[in-house]
Amino acid sequence: MSEVFRRGACSTRRRHVNTHPTAPSLADTPHQYDELPAWLTVLLAAGCGLIVANLYYAQPLIGLISEGTGISLRLAGWIVTLTQIGYGLGLLFIVPLGDVMENRKLVVRCLMVAALGLLAAGLSTSAAPFLAAMALVGVSSVAAQVLVPYGASMVAEEARGRTVGNIMSGLLLGIMLARPVSSFTASHAGWHAIFLGSSVLIAALAALLSRTMPERQPPHAQRYGALLASMKTLMREQPVLQVRALCHAGLFAAFSLFWSTVPLLLASPAFGFTQSGIALFALVGVAGAIAAPIAGRLADRGHARAGSLAAIALVALSFTFTWLAPQGSMAALLLLGLAAIVLDMGVSANLVLSQREIYALAPHARGRLNSLFMATFFLGGALGSAGGVYVYAQGGWLGVVVMGLALGMGSLAVFLAGSRRMARA
């Protein structure tokens, strides 16, 4: 049997691999599980959540960080935006390596860099070092986007949507829990503590993954320059990737817009929330993560288009809820909470549905496909963060509502216009 594994000639649908979590190896062939083992699903989901949370710890702390580092409120949106730009660069130039480089080694190296960047951010007291450190954290946190296609590559086609949904539920929980965790931490120990604490966690995660994550060496090699050049061809020749990426860019811009500005609204005289109160409100959005595994199962059953239409409509509608009651009233607060849940559910569902469709396009290029998809929509998120804080400073919450509704409707128009192209692909 070992000779069969060595040559990659296993002909059964279920690829027999060592699933023991202490000494695994997948050699250099595309072995598959029928279904990802529970321990590995939990490991990948938790790892993605811990990693991606680093992109969002600063989001509810913009006011505190700007005061502590001397960044003006008009430019404070760049605290999150630079991190997301760094993440986008990592998506374009690091994640594609997952198609040619042993995945565990790539992930662990990225995490070591992320731990150093978080340590530098936690020790910073002025703007330039802090922003540089957060850009580095953004670049290296793309380790999460190596883990997602890694998990998708380990299972059979009929289980891929469910697998992606389960892993993405961990990633989405990381995004949503990052805000309340950072707010609670800052209210008790100052804003530096969240970055110092995360540095320790990420270093520990790197050590854990280096011992327990099964190796995966992609079955083909390609020069780095050719690898990057091939991404242009993939984007040009895959209409599903084009439409899905552009559509989700609008939704993620709306997501970043909401969560970058709602802490400012809640801290305003209209509501008068403390940092702890803002953290409690942010916990409401965690409920949106339940949409990820549900969306994955819908995709496996062939309902990706209908699911995406519903998800996009939810995002567009969520902003309208927040303008139905006078600001500062209990009704307005409840509507804000409802909007947070609906918004997060819509974005989470469309993300999983889109990834399930994209991973089916070219199995040998899942890293690059994921790279292009994520880089495109994270650019939308970066613009939503920067533009949202500016719009709020200029036009108040009404400006945010108008911008969010426009982003949601724009995404719906893109999806409807591109549906025929995707059907022909």
Mean pLDDT by 10 residues, the chain (425 residues): 34 36 40 78 95 90 85 73 85 89 95 97 91 94 92 79 83 85 89 96 97 84 83 89 94 91 90 84 78 77 86 92 87 93 91 87 83 86 83 92 94 89 68
pLDDT at residue 425, rounded to an integer = 58
Residue range of the domain that includes 330: 2-424
pLDDT at residue 81, rounded to an integer = 77
pLDDT at residue 70, rounded to an integer = 79
Determine the Cα–Cα distance for residues 113 and 119; give it in Å rounded to an integer.
10
pTM assigned to the model:
0.74
Total residue length of the chain: 425
Determine the Cα–Cα distance for residues 344 and 251; give it in Å rounded to an integer.
10
Q: What is the CATH number of the domain that holds 134?
A: 1.20.1250.20
Question: Is there a contact between 114 and 58 (Cβ–Cβ < 8 Å)?
Answer: no
- 339 token code pair: 């909007």
Question: Is there a contact between 412 and 316 (Cβ–Cβ < 8 Å)?
Answer: yes
What's the number of domains the chain is made of?
Answer: 1
What backbone phi and psi angles, to 5 degrees, belong to 348? -60, -45
pLDDT at residue 208, rounded to an integer = 97
pLDDT at residue 4, rounded to an integer = 33
DSSP, res 20: -
pLDDT at residue 398, rounded to an integer = 93
Determine the Cα–Cα distance for residues 349 and 291; give it in Å rounded to an integer.
5
pLDDT at residue 365, rounded to an integer = 83
Residue 42: CB partners within 8 Å, gap ≥ 6?
170
Task: Using CB atoms within 10 Å of the CB of residue 417, give its burial: 0 to 12 exposed, 13 to 18 middle, 19+ buried.
Answer: exposed
Determine the Cα–Cα distance for residues 222 and 100; give it in Å rounded to an integer.
7
pLDDT at residue 424, rounded to an integer = 67
Helices and strands per DSSP (H, E), number in the chain: 16, 0
